[in-house]
Amino acid sequence: MNDKSTNFVAKRQHIVHQLPAGLLKGDTRTELFGCRDTNRVYAISDGITLPFSNLSNPMKAMILERLLDDPKALEDLKGLSQEEAIEKYAFCVFGAADSEADFCREGVLGSGDNFICGNNCGCLSWESKSINVDGNRLTPREIEIVQLMSTDMPDKHISESLGISISTLNTHKAHIFEKFSVYSKTGVARKAIEQKIVQ
Ligand SMILES: [Zn+2]
């Protein structure tokens, strides 16, 4: 195999690795993903996409179990029917179409996704929901700041729009740089996109 074809194979493997789980025929893992326009959830497995209502009962039960373990999520979703609450919870916690399957081949539920479901959703304070960068959990405030930093907004405007002082902003930024292992705003923005904190 010459260099060119080796590169091609490596590239192809890289692309396949980036595809949502379940997208290819024969990939029987199940990936959930949320539609931001409608807040509906879909499940993709073995190349077929189905609405959330078609998900098997054992899978729904596993999602419900996570929800029941999270008092804050339970409080936020208590006005909904059980079916609606399970779907909304799945939307917020498992909504990204990523390459790490939400249910493995054996049907076991994995950990939540890095998924910013929308602005002002209370789910960022749920214990079972976390947004991580390189495995480090970001606080809701840090997520807000990362999103603003990624828009290229000057620090003065960021601190004003959040109603905090520049020195408080600098403290947050120091924590963010540490969690991201970067030293610049550009570095934060790049990693935030790579790890789906900004979408
Ligand atoms: Zn949410």
pLDDT (tens digit per residue) in 50-83: 999 999 999 999 999 999 999 999 999 999 999 9
Contact 43, 23 (CB under 8 A): no
pLDDT (0 to 100) of residue 119: 65
Split at pLDDT 50, 70, 90, the class of 10 is low
Cα of 87 from ligand 1 centre, angstroms: 11
Report which of residues 159 and 7 the model is more confident about.
Answer: 159
pLDDT (0 to 100) of residue 198: 83
pLDDT (0 to 100) of residue 123: 94
User: What domains are defined for the chain?
Assistant: 19-113 (no CATH), 132-194 (1.10.10.10)
b/e for 165-199, b at 16 or more Cβ within 10 A? Answer: eeeebeebbebbeebbebeebeebbebbeeebbbe
Cα of 13 from ligand 1 centre, angstroms: 32
Cα of 1 from ligand 1 centre, angstroms: 48
Cα of 151 from ligand 1 centre, angstroms: 21
Split at pLDDT 50, 70, 90, the class of 197 is confident
Cα of 117 from ligand 1 centre, angstroms: 5
Above 80 in pLDDT, residue 2?
no
Cα of 5 from ligand 1 centre, angstroms: 43
Dmax over CA atoms of the chain, in Å, equals 62
Cα of 94 from ligand 1 centre, angstroms: 10
Which H or E element spans position 32? strand 31-35
Residues of the chain with pLDDT > 70, as a percent, come to 91
Split at pLDDT 50, 70, 90, the class of 8 is low
